[in-house]
Chain A
Amino acid sequence: MPEPLISAERVPAATVQDGPPALAVSKLWKVFGPRADKIVGTPLAELPRPELLERTGCVAAVRDISFTVAPTEVFVVMGLSGSGKSTLVRCLTRLVEPTSGDVLIEGEDLRAADQRRLRELRRHRFAMVFQHFGLLPHRRVLDNVAYGLEIRGVAKAERLRRAGEVLDLVGLSGYADHFPDQLSGGMQQRVGLGRALAVDPRILFFDEPFSALDPLIRRDMQNEVLRLHHEVGKTMVFITHDLHEALRLGDRILIMRDGAAVQIGRPDEVVGAPADDYVRDFVADVPKSHVLTIRWVMRPVRADDPLDGPELGADVVVRDAVRAVLSSAAPVKVVHDGELVGMVDDEAILRVIVAEEP
């Protein structure tokens, strides 16, 4: 049986908002090029990319992006190469300086931080996992994992102890004395993951961490991230160009195109209600039954509906509902918060599974 695209184990994001969101981004712009700061807020900013480049020599890598991420949420940013997603995640940690807009980390204005404060934040609040790992080839795996703590000034014995724990957590027990180039790509990225986790950050940023890995390893690593999220419950911002990865990992997904946000929503919203043709094209090949919940396929209750069928929650994924619906003679009742919100019959289910349409 193929693995579900969305793991049933996923920890739901905190829905109750006590305190500020983990990350709040509003009207964020990043323009590369000469006199880049003179573009935002003028009519020039509205130009499409090629025209802007022609007129000003500037490239708007990130255009007017706003979103918030709740504590413990997994927020995925998805887009093709050149869509600005890597620049976006670097703006969130100021590895790239944003041109305008606000980034609030747990309510603190990141752009107002001076260098010292920024370093403090990087050392304690958030950490990043990189596409090309960025490991130090002259250090053992253990020392690579301990690197963030070393930078922070943690004493050697303590940081090595902590790094040892993290190695166990990321499944690299026994590899402490190896050097990065003695490990496979997947294992190297586990080291990168361990290095980020070792500093015990509250937010983890992932910049296409698995796109350099082959598909089977990638699947393993995605499970690893889900497992870690389950165990340590960190807020995660995950960049990817792989829609399947986005759907598997994300509580919510931001789809970017040419630097701008096209759609923000839960996986089933992105698949069930694409914002435009671009997204529709994108999700065309996704097996709908793996993503959509029965909320998307139910029909309104009719007066003549028999009400003796089984009940299912509105958030059950279609594929998981198949057996219940097909084996019942009567249509299945869809219940949300104790109320009957719709009915699902055999035809609706089969339409999704066989014809791939909601």
Chain B
Amino acid sequence: MTTLSAGAVRRAARLPRSWLFGGVVAVWVLLWIPLHGQDTLALSTSELTSLHERLNDLRDAINNTRGSSPVFSAFFDVIREAVDALTVFLQSLISQPAYGRPVPLIGWLGVVVVATLAAYAAGNLRVAVLTAAGFTSFGLLGYWQQSMDTLALTVAAVLICLVIGIPLGIWAGLSDRLHRVLTPVLDFMQTMPTFVYLAPLTLFFLIGPASGVIATLIYAMPPVIRITAHGIRTVAFSSVEAGTSLGATKWQLLRTVRVPLAKRTIVLGVNQTVMCALSMVTIAALIDAPGLGQVVLRALQTLDVGTAFRAGLAIVIMAIVLDRVTTAARDRVEARYRLGPKARGRRRIVLAGLGVAAAVALYLSYTYVWAAFFPGPAGTGVVGGQVAAGVTDASDWVQLHLGAVTDAIRNAISYGLLNPLQALIAQSPWYLVSAVVLALAWIVAGPRIVPTVAVCLGLLVATGLWQEAMVTLAATLVATVIVMALGIAVGVWMGRSDRADALIRPTLDAAQVMPAFVYLVPFLGLFGASRFTAIVAAVVFAAPVAIKLVADGVRGVPATVVEAATSSGSSAWQVVTKVQLPLARQSVTLAANQGLIYVLSMVVVGGLVGAGALGYLVVAGFSQSDLYGKGLAAGVAVVLLGVLLDRTTQAAARRMDAGTRRGRDQ
């Protein structure tokens, strides 16, 4: 760095950052007026760059060598076949005809009773009843087999995740070195939008259930590793030291102190992994994984809101059941060793009774048709048809009668926010946008971020999808602004009022367990297929995370500080703006970071309902052979956008934190 520019930076640093930020944006707008429309690197949908063609060729080359290359026969095929064996086994147990029978080994009755037994064993009576009701509703909605396919894939993925993830997490909890190596890998796995690694995976693992499970593994494994490691790391040091002082070996410490004390946290990790797995299994429908996701996907593509809602409802019910059962299992870790002998005896009796019932149900469902096939009309189920018809009617009614209202909302956001921003970002010359992004990143996150941002921008240009990426960026920014507005408003309210917290938090928790896919359905019903639907779905998808982070941050502000501010006569508004938000600003920045990542992944999923840009290309890449390479490049572009936004906001958060600390030292 030359002394000149270093001096300029030092002078510039004296100006408040918000002024600099505003200045850069003002210059941008002024330059946009003469320059817009030039060098926007636009590319029509069917046009391919040489990179896209090369990617197509690469796919063909890989497909041609599949049969002969040892890399496949010795590595990828081994993995795929192992995963496939497990998946097929689970499917033949509960969902697919197998072993020469026209039905799976275990019919619906057996599955319902065994699931109830498992829920009781892991949790309590309440979740057992919930499980029985939930599982029965799959059949009533007419999606028994699809639900069981989804369940089988989820269980397969979760089993593999836990077998690998828990030992790895424990190891990472014990070894600092492994933890340091693993953390960035897990970060990357988690920031990558779910949608994006499906296409590259199919190159190596083909399409179908096995590759669906493998994609799910990648997405669902990080939480259990991370949370297990965290649990092991945060075991009270005094307990570990006490064990050591009595002469415990490392293994004894692990067995008697670390794992038992971390168990509750580990089960929380299992819960997270189960929810991630379910979410990804439904999305894996794009690479031909069977189950409810397929139904939703097909319905979305044909704009059949009723069917999408019916299958979406089954997914939501499954999500709620799995979440409640694993949460109850976590609470039971505490409760179990506190049970008195009497309660323990009672529990044993119920378990034994359920066990006998399960054995009988298994036998019946293996032998009799009525217990194997879920009764009811084929295709629609007992209530499925009515549900779908009702939702379709409601959607039509809304679009007919409330069209004015939904259009008004849509137009207000489209014309007021989205269109101007999109025009500014996507219609500026690429070099202008790049310069502005670099300058803004420097201002908010410091000079260290500049190389990363520059590399991301360069690679974005190289993907040949610059303009699509900019359109996606505009949509992401609009959605994130709305998410943050919601996050701060509702988060502060929840942080200050216990009642609001008690009222809203369960809703947010429930919203967070829903698979990303499902969010599209109701908004498709309200707003039809458009980029706006994707934005609203993204806002609803990302808002719970942001709200909870802000609320926790505001709650984390020490009560004494708030008390001191109140006692010196601050108004509620002053307490919020001068005490609570500034002290919670790390949480707020983290909320912005998470909001961006969530929004980005959802904006891409929105490609399914007409959001256009990168999302559309990713989806098109799955279905149209010619566009495979372009879809892959679009996926890469999404990852680049994600890395750019994630790194910049994280660096900004760190810098803000460091700035506060430096200020305090002086």
Residues of A bordering B, CB below 8 Å? 93, 95, 118-124, 127-128, 130-139, 147-148, 150-152, 179, 192, 195, 199, 205
B246 touches A135 (CB 8 A): no
Shortest B242–chain A CB gap in Å is 3
B588 proximity list for chain A (CB < 8 A): none
The answer to whether B248 touches A136, judged by C-beta atoms less than 8 angstroms apart, is no
B183 located at the interface, meaning its Cβ lies under 8 Å from any Cβ of chain A in the complex: no
Bound Cα distance from A277 to B257, whole angstroms: 46
- B246 close to A151 (CB less than 8 A): yes
Q: Could you write out 5 A-B pairs with CB less than 8 Å apart?
A: A120-B247, A121-B247, A135-B239, A136-B256, A179-B338
Chain B residues with CB under 8 A of A151:
243, 246-248, 252, 256
Asked if B257 and A136 make an inter-chain contact with CB atoms under 8 angstroms apart, the answer reads: yes
CB-CB under 8 A for A127 and B246, given A138-B261, A150-B256: yes
Q: Report if B241 contacts A (CB, 8 A).
A: yes
Most buried by A among B238, B252, B257: B238
* Cβ of B589 to closest chain A Cβ, rounded Å: 32
Q: Cα distance A25–B304 when bound, in Å? A: 82
Q: How far is the CA of A4 from the CA of B257 in the complex (A)?
A: 41
Query: Are A134 and B247 interface neighbours, CB within 8 A?
Result: no
Tell which of B241, B247, B257 touches A123, judged by Cβ atoms closer than 8 Å. Answer: B247
B256 and A93 within 8 A (CB): no
B246 in contact with A148 (CB, 8 Å): yes
**How close is B254's CB to chain A, nearest CB, in angstroms?**
13
Contact A136 B246 (CB under 8 A): no
Question: Which parts of B137-151 form the interface with A (CB within 8 Å)?
Answer: none
Instruction: Say yes or no: B261 contacts A119, CB within 8 Å.
Output: no
Instruction: Please give, as numbers and ranges, the residues of chain B lying within 8 Å of A150 by CB-CB distance.
Output: 256
Is the C-beta of B45 less than 8 angstroms from some C-beta in chain A? no
List 19 additional A-B contacts (Cβ < 8 Å) besides A127-B245, A134-B243.
A93-B245, A119-B247, A121-B247, A128-B245, A130-B241, A131-B238, A134-B238, A134-B240, A136-B257, A136-B260, A138-B260, A139-B337, A147-B243, A147-B256, A151-B247, A151-B248, A151-B256, A179-B337, A195-B246
Q: A134-B238, A134-B239, A138-B337 are in contact. Are A122 and B246 (CB under 8 A)?
A: yes
Please list the 5 inter-chain residue pairs (A to B) with the smallest Cβ-Cβ separation, ordered nearest first.
Answer: A134-B242, A122-B247, A123-B247, A134-B238, A148-B246
B246 touches A147 (CB 8 A): yes
Q: How far is the CB of A325 from chain B (nearest CB, A)?
A: 48
B249 within 8 A of A: yes
Task: Report chain B residues within 8 Å CB of A118.
Answer: 247
Cα A188 to Cα B252 with chains together (Å): 23
Q: Let me know if A130 and B238 touch, CB within 8 A.
A: yes
Query: Which residues from A are CB-within-8-Å of B247?
Result: 118-124, 148, 151-152
With the chains together, A137 CA to B338 CA distance in Å?
A: 11
B619 to chain A, nearest CB (A): 49
Whose C-beta in chain B lies nearest to the C-beta of A177?
Answer: B340
Provide the residues of chain B in CB contact with A93, threshold 8 Å: 245
The smallest beta-carbon distance between B360 and chain A, in angstroms, is 36
Q: Of B243, B247, B249, which is in contact with the most chain A CB atoms at under 10 Å from its CB?
A: B247
Residue B236, interface by CB 8 Å: yes
B38 within 8 A of A: no
Nearest B residue to A198, CB-CB: B246
Tell me the minimal C-beta distance from A56 to chain B in angstroms.
Answer: 22
The binding surface of chain A is classed by DSSP as mixed
> Chain A residues with Cβ under 8 A from B239's Cβ?
134-136
Minimum C-beta distance from A206 to chain B (A): 12
Interfacial chain A residues near B497, Cβ < 8 Å:
none
Tell me the B227-251 residues at the A interface (CB within 8 Å). 236, 238-249
With A95-B244, A130-B241, A138-B337 as given contacts, are A119 and B249 in contact (CB-CB < 8 Å)?
Answer: yes
Residues on B with beta carbons closer than 8 Å to the beta carbon of A124: 247
Instruction: Name the distance in Å between B310's Cβ and chain A's nearest Cβ.
Output: 45
Docked Cα-Cα span, A133 to B243, in Å, equals 11
Which of A132, A134, A147, A192 neighbours the largest number of chain B CB atoms within 10 Å of its CB? A134
Q: How far is A119 from B253 in the complex, measured between Cα atoms in Å?
A: 13
B246 and A137 contacting across the interface, CB-CB below 8 Å: no
CB distance from B333 to the nearest CB of A (A): 8
Residues of chain B within 8 A (CB-CB) of A130 are 238, 241-242, 245
**A109 to chain B: closest CB distance in Å?**
18
A93 to B245, CA, bound (A): 7
**Closest residue on chain A to residue B260 by CB atoms:** A138
Give Cα distance in the complex from A345 to B242, angstroms: 53
Which one of A123, A127, A133 contacts B238 once the chains associate, using CB atoms below 8 Å? A133
Q: Which residues of A contact B338 (CB under 8 A)?
A: 179
Alpha-carbon distance A121/B245, docked complex (angstroms): 10
Query: Taking each of B243, B248, B249, B257, which has the highest tally of chain A beta carbons within 10 Å of its own beta carbon?
Result: B248
For the complex, what is the distance from the CA of A145 to the CA of B534, rounded to whole Å? 60
Closest to A119 in B: B247
User: Which chain B residue has the least Cβ–Cβ distance from A150?
Assistant: B256
Q: How far is the CB of A141 from chain B (nearest CB, A)?
A: 13
Contact indicator B245/A122 (Cβ below 8 Å)? yes
* Contact yes or no, A137 B261, CB < 8 A: yes
CB contacts under 8 Å to A, within B243-278, are 243-249, 252, 256-257, 260-261, 263
How close is B663's CB to chain A, nearest CB, in angstroms?
24
From B246, B257, B260, B263, residue with most partner A Cβ within 10 Å: B246
Given the complex of chains A and B, what is the CA–CA distance between A131 and B337 in angstroms?
26
A128: chain B residues at CB < 8 Å are: 242, 245
Q: Are B261 and A136 in contact (CB under 8 A)?
A: yes
Question: For B337, what are the chain A residues with a Cβ–Cβ distance below 8 Å?
Answer: 138-139, 179
The CA-CA distance from A139 to B337 in the complex, in Å, is 8
How far does the alpha carbon of A118 sit from the alpha carbon of B249 in the complex, in Å? 11
A152 and B248 alpha carbons, distance in the complex (Å): 8
Inter-chain CA distance A95–B241, complex, in Å, is 8
Q: How far is the CB of B222 from the nearest CB of chain A, in Å?
A: 27
Please give the distance in Å from B154's CB to the nearest CB on chain A.
30
- Interchain CA distance A128-B252 in the complex, whole Å: 18
Chain B residues, Cβ within 8 Å of A135: 239, 242
Name the CB-closest residue of A to B239. Answer: A134
Once the chains bind, are B261 and A123 in contact (CB under 8 Å)? no
Chain B residues closer than 8 Å to A138, beta-carbon distance: 260-261, 263, 337
Nearest neighbor of A125 in chain B, beta-carbon distance? B247
Determine the residue in chain B with the shortest Cβ distance to A116.
B249
CA–CA, A148 and B256, complex, Å = 11
The answer for the CA separation of A38 and B242 in the assembled complex, in Å, is: 31
Q: Which residue of A lies closest to B337 (CB)?
A: A138
Give the chain A neighbours of B244 by CB distance below 8 A.
95, 122
Closest to B246 in A: A148
Report Cα–Cα, A136/B238, bound state, in Å: 10
Chain B residues positioned under 8 Å from A123 (CB to CB) = 246-247
Measured CB to CB, the closest approach of chain B to A203, in angstroms, equals: 12
Chain B residues with CB below 8 A from A179, complex form: 337-338
Instruction: Name the A residues within 8 Å of B241 (CB-CB).
Output: 95, 130, 134
Q: How far is the CA of A154 from the CA of B335 in the complex (A)?
A: 28
A205 CB contacts on chain B under 8 angstroms: 245
Task: Kindly state the separation between the CA atoms of A135 and B337 in the bound complex, as whole angstroms.
Answer: 15
Q: How far is the CA of A192 from the CA of B239 in the complex (A)?
A: 11
Task: Specify the chain B residue showing the minimal Cβ separation from A131.
Answer: B238
User: Measured between C-beta atoms, what is the minimum distance from A284 to chain B in Å?
Assistant: 34
A144 to chain B, nearest CB (A): 9
The complex places the Cα of A138 from the Cα of B332 at a distance, in Å, of 12
* A91 CB, nearest partner CB in chain B, Å: 13
B344 to chain A, nearest CB (A): 13
**Identity of the chain B residue whose Cβ is nearest the Cβ of A182 in the assembled complex:** B338
A118 to B250, CA, bound (A): 13
Q: Which residues of A contact B238 (CB under 8 A)?
A: 130-134
CA of A137 to CA of B236 in the docked complex: distance in angstroms?
Answer: 10
- Contact across chains for B256 and A134 when beta carbons are under 8 A apart: no
Q: Once bound together, how far apart are the Cα atoms of A195 and B246, in whole Å?
A: 9
In whole angstroms, how far apart are the Cα atoms of A179 and B247 in the complex? 23
Measured CA separation A55–B257 after assembly (Å): 40
Shortest distance from the beta carbon of B247 to any chain A beta carbon, whole Å: 3
Within 8 Å CB of A147, what residues of B?
243, 246, 256
Q: Are A95 and B256 in contact (CB under 8 A)?
A: no
A133–B242 Cα distance when bound, in Å, is 8
Which of chain A's residues has its CB closest to B333's CB? Answer: A138
